[in-house]
Structure 1
């Protein structure tokens, strides 16, 4: 009995892991970290620090193909009349490059939106932004909080991070664009 009680004290409840959101350490005025991400395949590495020289938005999601990401969050950006004025728009998720490529094609088959889907399989970019959380109870490991960063010339101008990590309110296209 003591061992079982000790085990239960050692592991926080899954719901607390999933919805707990520590303070975000990135700040307005910070530079985008120079961390390699993957686009379309593991061999195609890019750095958003190099890509975002003008206006842009980085949208972070917990998982490709998850219901909120696929049904509301990213389609809100794809279908927004304000998308073109936002500059370069990137969707980043802790998935592999092949998943992100397929997900991008499923959401925007023609590619007309211009949104680029990037993979952060090692969580390096997400952790450099201090926007990861332990999603093992739902996703099997560390994941990205749901967020949107408005960027100008590689510097963060606005930060929109969902307070519960995965909800869809402050990072929605209509609130960011």
Structure 2
């Protein structure tokens, strides 16, 4: 009973897993810092969600370029979109996108999304306490391959600074 009470108090959600359906209706912000426009559960076809702890952090800034550089290869494997989701505001995610692309347009399949309140990340159970380093709750480093709202494959790093199973080349190779 005390375990259930602790879970309710913490507001924790069960982490997404293979076969799960993402039902979150949180609208993430892509270009408009005042209004979310992308609802992950409403995406159709095969899409990839790349959850990162924070824009501009060294591990995230080394991981995400692989998805930008390999965007066409992902599209050739049937991926409609690659959605980079960071618990940051839209100004930060857009500035990070510009830095990573050298000011050029990102490939059309690549989208940088702000989960500015962390609500989406929390709802799918991928939030962790990063207060000591990043000031508050952040996203675990993960990659989810979706078919519509259904998680077909999920890769989660054991530690936030690690970029091994979520490296673009590894995910591309593992795609069905």
Q: Give TM-score, length-normalised by structure 1.
A: 0.80
TM superposition shift of 1:98: 0.8
Deviations 1:13-56 (A, max 9, x none): xxxxxxxxx99631212222221211123333121112x20111
Separation in structure 2 between the aligned mates of residue 135 and residue 112 of structure 1, nearest angstrom: 29
1:28 equivalent in structure 2: 18
**How do residues 1-177 of structure 1 correspond to structure 2 at under 5 angstroms?**
25-32=15-22, 33-45=24-36, 46-50=38-42, 52-70=43-61, 72-80=62-70, 82-85=73-76, 86-108=79-101, 109-114=103-108, 115-177=110-172
Q: Normalized per residue, which structure has more strand?
A: 1
Which protein is bigger by CA-based radius of gyration? 1
Q: State the aligned residue count.
A: 154
Partners of 1:35 and 1:44 lie apart in 2 by 11
**CA-CA distance at 1:121 after TM superposition:** 1.2
Tell me whether 146-155 or 101-110 shows the greater mean CA deviation. 101-110
Gaps of at least 5 residues in structure 1 are 1-21
Aligned to 2:73, the other structure's residue is in SS state coil
Note the alpha carbon deviations across 1:45-97, whole angstroms, 9 max, x for none: 121112x2011100010010111111x20011111252323321100000001
Matches of 1:43 and 1:49, distance apart in 2: 20
RMSD of aligned alpha carbons: 1.9
CA–CA separation in structure 2 for the residues paired with 1:54 and 1:129: 19
Report the secondary structure of 1:41's partner residue: coil
Structure 2: runs of 5+ lacking an equivalent:
1-11
